[in-house]
Structure 1
Amino acid sequence: MSYLEYNVKTAPTGLRKILFLNWPLILLLAAVSGVGFMMLYSVAGGSFSPWAGAQIKRFALGLGVMIAVAMVPIWFWRSISGAAYGVTIVLLILVEFMGSVGMGAQRWIDLGFMRLQPSELMKITLVMLLASYYDWLPAHKTSRPLWIAIPVLLILLPTALVLRQPDLGTSILLLTGGAMVMFMAGVHWGYFAAVAALAGGIVVGVFQSRGTPWQLLKDYQYRRIDTFLDPSSDPLGAGYHITQSKIALGSGGWTGRGFMQGTQSRLNFLPEKHTDFIFTTLAEEFGFVGAFSLLGLYALIVVFCITAAIANRDRFSSLLILGIGATFFLFFAVNMSMVMGMAPVVGVPLPLVSYGGSAMLVLMMAFGLVQSAHVHRPR
């Protein structure tokens, strides 16, 4: 009996599926989102408008979407992974011609009732397709060059489209997330070592070429690198965001200034305080204890994904769960590194905490896939 036949015959039905949901994971997601509601309430000066109230409604909608996705058998999501990837590619191309512009970037499609960001959807559909590909591919072909070229192209195509918007942060997440799925699928580590060595060589070449006739970057791009390495060199210009972020992080101390008592956010020194830099608001108001507690909640979600993947005997489900867990990890790791000055400011929101409709709904949909794999696993 094939896995599909086994799964169809033994899958839980009706209300039993609700009982089989991973309820601790749902509680963790609700706890992280609750932190987001509280911080959005704070940065609005003690008001649910304009951010916290809208975010609560989005989470409620996302929770319904997650449960609805979880009720659908995992084999169905496997069967439509190619179509989902193709539709998202079409949406990314449509952004080029009819996308809405915001903050100097063209990333959204206006649907009337909401603005859809296809690049957020691509983070999940790419993982779905790669998991489906490696589930189909025999294990002995995983590291052969021909069969590596296919997923590499599947990753590079959306990465290039997103980079044109421009959205460097999401491009990095797509590239890194796709590579992590390939690694977890069993692609030989030598390929990744070669790519890392090549990337290191390119970085060295970029710095060595500065001031020469064959300079690889523009002067303004080198200035951006200088600002990242030393934000104090331009504290009122390109280094303003990260300088203010570090001030907010440091002023929180161990236990913080108190809820709604953060001076950097209340006096509007902190930029994008409700989106990309909301973690610094949390650290200023609740200190190291609050920031570490949020990091602990994130870590538990990743651990739940890893344990669910290990317990699942279906290769597609395991790779899908691991890929979503890795993407979620990259989300908060890149954001936290960014606001602490350990990585360039690339515009990656803090998952389930930063204000944003597309990111919230897509993440909840992704965890719906995790729940579907958990509910419909072979028993």
Structure 2
Amino acid sequence: MKKLERGGTARLDTYHALARALGARTSALLDSAAPHATTRRDDDNIDLMPLRQAIAPPVTFTGRLIGTVATEPDLDRLRSTAAEVGTAYHRDHYGYVAEFLPALVHAAHAAVAHFDNGVEQTEAIRIRSDVLQMAGRYLTQIRAYDLAHTALRDAIGDAVRVDDMGGVAAAVYQQGWLLMRQGRLDEAEQVSVATADVVEPRISRATKRTLGAWGKLLVHGSATAARNNRPGQAREILRLGRTAGAALGGGQAVAVSSWGRFDWRTVAFQGIENQLVADRPDRVLRLSERMPAAVDAKGRVFMRRHLLDVAQAHLLMRAPDEATSILWSLMGETPEWLRHQRMAADTFHAVLRKSKRRRMTSRERELAAFFGSR
């Protein structure tokens, strides 16, 4: 509180805790410092140069500066390459994604520029929308938020241009997570709910992909409302999300390049996360015990974010060893993903602060080396 009173800033969950106490929206408390108050470094400009050149090329009076291709683009190959990069992202091969994504974006731009009209141009635009969504998701993961916003804005424009409402829903879903990470809670909820209203399908005729995109939008809208201290609205939005999950039955919808996977468990896990946001860790643990193991048919963890919620709940319930055990398992299963999760690092460092042991265990030492000391 003293830090905030002196003009400083805090984490979003701190603002949310204050909002609960004051009975206000979290967004009403967000008052950031002036942009010039912090000295900014140019390191990320160099590291992200290839992606910046691909996603935000220079513009002249004739439009973007995009290179031409000597031969007609192979759309089938471009589509399959995009699928390979999307699969690499979901398998946490971020180095592969960073290496191939700039060239893929350039190729997608060139394909759209090559075809003047017709079915080929429509398909090229659709592929570019998927590629830009993938770029936006990766950039959000590594916290390059402004560049991610550019990619997702253009992805939405492409999807609208070819009347691909599933693509619109997917890109808006990605944009919603980006806005939430930036603390733009009101806008994140608004775009998610408004788009969900537009793309709401007829359940009897909807495809799995359409149900998945609609359901993910609703899940995100609920997540944002919960963080914005609007628990009633969060519950109502999630109720609609259960409709999409129920329509899939025991099946699931998958969109590799954008929103990932969706089924009834996605809705259930979001309900559990909302309990953590509301500072009810006992409910988190109780509800989690009723859920099936968060692994796919091959034994791979797929609801990793949920496991971080469970670890945080254990910490809040004064069971730091259980929290450490979850983090240890995630480090072994999916280290590249875990490395970018600030919540995981915060949970671990809180475990160390609350530990009554004078010396760290071997697991704690390895986790400390993984997350870095503070």
Quick check: TM above 0.5?
no
TM-score (norm 1): 0.31
Higher relative contact order (CA 8 A, sep 6+): 1
